[in-house]
Structure 1
Amino acid sequence: MFFTLYINPQTPGPEMDGAIMDAAVEDAIKADRAGFRGIALTHHHFSNYNTYGNSFMFGAYLASQIKQAWLLLQVAVAPLMNPLELVENANLLDQLWRGRFIMGAGSGGSPLEFEGLGRDPAQRGTLTAEVMQVADRAWNHKPGDLPLEYRTTHDSGVMRGRIMPGPYRNPRPLLARPSLSEPGWVDAGRSRLPLFFGRMGPEGAARAMEVYDEALRQTGCSVEEIEFCKDWTTMQKTVAISDDDASAHASIDEPLGNLHRLGQAAFAAYGGEQRKAVTGMSGDDPESFRRAFVEGATIVGSPQTFIDKLKQYEDVGVRHVALHINFGFMRPEVSSRTLDLFIDKVMPKFS
């Protein structure tokens, strides 16, 4: 089983941003030295849900400091970007990381973030398709081709030159398909892309892997392609490890309360069903949120409990887990303790 460190630390305010980012860099370097397969960054604006905001710039900063791990964007929110800017940023990371880069391009969903950038969150699916269609054209555009003319709902232009830099890989950086639903799992397989998913227990993960695997094999791609896609198909989990189960669960009480309040603010414009479609959860009751989140999105407990739960996912075909260790304004010493225990007590059982 492979492991990625998923860096998405929330922030209580600007006075803490610098210290939180410093701690995230330290964790990334420690994870890389310990043998983590990847470092994952997210893409959020305005909501305190992601301290560093610009995942492309933060990824570029990490490039010279991470020696072995790959960079994953889980995910780049395509409808919030100009399509040519998206391609340019992705190519730059592909070059800086020497091809050790996979970008998941998704639709996002937080009204607070969409409104800040002048987008309608209700149109996120359509906007994503528009941006990625133009991006694909840009990646396939060659010197000497006719100028690339494009138009989306929010952007238009004519590219008479080329995207600089070109990608490290040809014809584009590696992409992945993020999805929490069965149609997306099928699409990932049919598109021969790794799948980024999460927020489900072993039974749901088994179904996701079964659907994805079947769709992937039906494409007739090579054994090498199948193995690559399955190695980088990544299940994301919010995690906490302590010396015993009780203290591990106690350590997440306050952070989960903070996460719930951030979610209420970010998704205030959604009704329950719309919110569930984006987050996998609905409702505003803190206890219901905690129960649903712990059951579907987390692995929490002692090192042995953690090992046992990971083996349940391994048994249903999950090869790669992204660990979200710092969340909900968690104190750095608490998240660092989780990372240290994972490296020392858990990771050797899956080497």
Structure 2
Amino acid sequence: MRVGMHLGYQNLDGTPDHEFFLRETKLAVEAEAMGFDYVGPVEHHFTDYAACPDPFGMLSYVAARTSKIDLITGAVILPWNNPLRVVEQALQLDALSEGRMILGMGRGAARREFRSFGVELADSREMFDEAAVIIMEGLETGIVEADTKWYKIPRTEVRPRPMKSWKGRVVQVTMSPSSVEVSARLGTQALRFSQGDWRNAIPEINSYRAKFEEIHHRKPPPFIISDFVLTHTDKAEVGRRTDTYFSKMFETVANHYEFMSDHFKALPSYSTYAYMGRAAEAAGGPHKAYTDYVGGNMIGTPEEIIAHHQMRKEMVGDYEMLANFSYGGLPYEMVYEQLKLFADKILPHIKG
């Protein structure tokens, strides 16, 4: 089982952005020494919720300071980026890292970010689907061309040219039935965020696996699950930190994506986000939605997290983990403390 480190760049403690960004990025360098298999940042813009506007640039820094760990964009948001530029940037980073690049692709979900880029949230499904095909063909062949509804690109040879095949090195965020279907059709590895009770995700996970095998005549790769991790040897301290920091993080997620807004109800391709809103309105209200969110992520003592992993694996089958340790204004000392505890006490068990 491969385990990676996910960096969200959520600056909620008032640290100057340039200091916070460098500090978070240096955690990615530490990840190699701690035994993680891959590391990658989100792409988010403009707010304290998360701000890493250029995953390729950030990973170039990490590539120069590491030698073995794989590098994943987690994820580059295709409706905000020209597919020709994505191909160029991915190939350049693959060359600089000597073939350690994994391209993670997503389509975004926050209206505030789409608005600033002049793109409509309702168009994201079509834009992603067209761009993903253009990018995957470009990565494999070194030629980018398109004549689609959203993209007009004359036949262009990109440089640097591909150094090796990208088969098995493209990941797609799949937080809706339509994304699951697209990922299976394209043959990408599927990534899913922990957003509640994993039993609700099993139909989509099974659908992906069945469609993937039907189309490509081979077993699909394991899902990647992106978890928030909060761990300490003292169970009471886990509870205190959850109440203080994880709750703050959940509030920023709900506000950033506007879970309580009605706009997702008119967008079937964002069904998971609509579900989060419905969960907050249902019996138990926002508190129930929050407790489900806590239960879906990796929170507890090392022993509890190992048990949670084993229970989840029995439920969803083989999966990989992309773990986020820094969020909600957690002081850096606590971030590093729990990261080291995870690497020492939990990582050997779940990788084994």
* TM-score category, normalised to shorter length: 0.7 to 0.9
Partner of 2:64: 64
The alignment covers a number of residue pairs equal to: 339
Match of 2:207 among 195, 198, 211: 211
Shift of 1:242: 0.8
Q: Which amino acid aligns with 1:330?
A: L
Check whether the contact 1:79–1:128 (CA below 8 A) recurs between aligned residues.
yes
Letter in 2 for 1:215: K
Using the alignment, how far apart are the partners of 2:188 and 2:259 within structure 1?
32
Distance 1:265 1:38, change over 3 A: same
Local SS of the residue matching 2:16: helix
Cα distance in structure 2, aligned partners of 1:140 and 1:101:
13
Aligned to 2:229: 239
Long gaps (5+) in structure 2: none
Q: Select between 330-339 and 314-323 the one with higher mean Cα deviation.
A: 314-323
Hey, what does 2:162 align to over in structure 1? 167
Asked whether the 8 Å contact 1:241–1:300 carries over to 2, the reply is: yes
Q: Name the counterpart of 1:189.
A: 184
CA distance in 2, matches of 1:115, 1:246: 42
Query: Which residue of structure 2 aligns with residue 258 of structure 1?
Result: 248
Alpha-carbon shift at residue 211 of structure 1 (Å): 3.2
Is the Cα contact below 8 Å between 1:47 and 1:112 reproduced in 2?
A: no
Deviations 1:85-116 (A, max 9, x none): 11111211222222222222221011111111
1:96-107 mapped onto 2 (5 Å cutoff): 96-107=96-107
Match of 1:195, as an amino acid? A
Secondary structure at the aligned position of 2:47 is classed as coil
**CA shift for structure 1 position 22:** 2.9
Correspondence 1:119 to 2:119: yes
Aligned-partner Cα distance in 1 for 2:119–2:7:
26
Relative to 1, partners in 2 of residues 1:191 and 1:52: Cα closer, same or farther, differing over 3 Å? Answer: closer
Other-structure match for 2:313: 314
Q: How far is 1:137 from its partner? A: 5.4
What does the per-residue CA deviation read over 1:12-31, in whole Å, with 9 as the maximum and x for residues that have no partner? 38853233223323322222
Amino acid at match of 1:69: I
Query: 3-state DSSP class of the match of 1:130?
Result: helix
Is the 8 Å Cα contact of residues 5 and 40 (structure 1) preserved in structure 2?
Answer: yes
Q: Tell me the distance in 2 between the aligned counterparts of 1:81 and 1:107.
A: 10
Query: Given that residues 257 and 286 in structure 1 are in contact (C-alpha distance below 8 angstroms), is that contact kept between their aligned partners in structure 2?
Result: no
Q: How far apart are 1:190 and its partner, in Å?
A: 3.9
CA contact (8 A) 1:134 1:150 kept: no
Q: Is the 8 A contact 2:80 2:114 kept in 1?
A: yes
Instruction: Provide the C-alpha distance between the structure 2 equivalents of 1:168 and 1:318, rounded to a whole number of angstroms.
Output: 30
Q: Residue 216 of structure 1 aligns to which amino acid in structure 2?
A: F
Distance 1:142 1:305, change over 3 A: closer
Structure 1: gaps of 5 or more residues: none
Secondary structure (helix, strand or coil) at the match of 2:303 reads helix
Q: Deviations over 1:181-231 (max 9, x none)?
A: 344334433432211113244534655543333333323545xxx37x23x
Question: Residue 46 of structure 2 aligns with which residue?
Answer: 46
Alpha-carbon distance change, 185 to 134 in structure 1, aligned in 2, over 3 angstroms: closer
- The one-character-per-residue Cα deviations of 1:113-132 (angstroms, maximum 9, x if unpaired) are 11111111121112212323
Describe the superposition over 1:324-351 as per-residue Cα deviations: whole angstroms up to 9, x where unpaired: 1111222111111211111111122233
Contact between 1:83 and 1:131, CA under 8 Å: does it hold in 2?
yes
Distance 2:30 2:112 in 1: 33
What CA distance in whole angstroms lies between the structure 2 residues aligned with 1:8 and 1:33?
20
Greater shift in the superposed pair: 28-37 or 172-181: 172-181
Matched-pair contact (CA < 8 Å) for 2:184–2:211? yes
TM-score, normalising length from structure 2?
0.84
Alpha-carbon separation, structure 1, partners of 2:103 and 2:201: 22
The answer as to 2:238 corresponding to 1:248 is: yes
- Check 1:344–1:213 CA distance in 2 against 1; reply closer, same or farther (3 A cut): same
Q: CA separation of 1:148/1:214 partners in 2, compared to 1, >3 Å: closer, same or farther?
A: closer
TM-score w.r.t. length of structure 1: 0.84
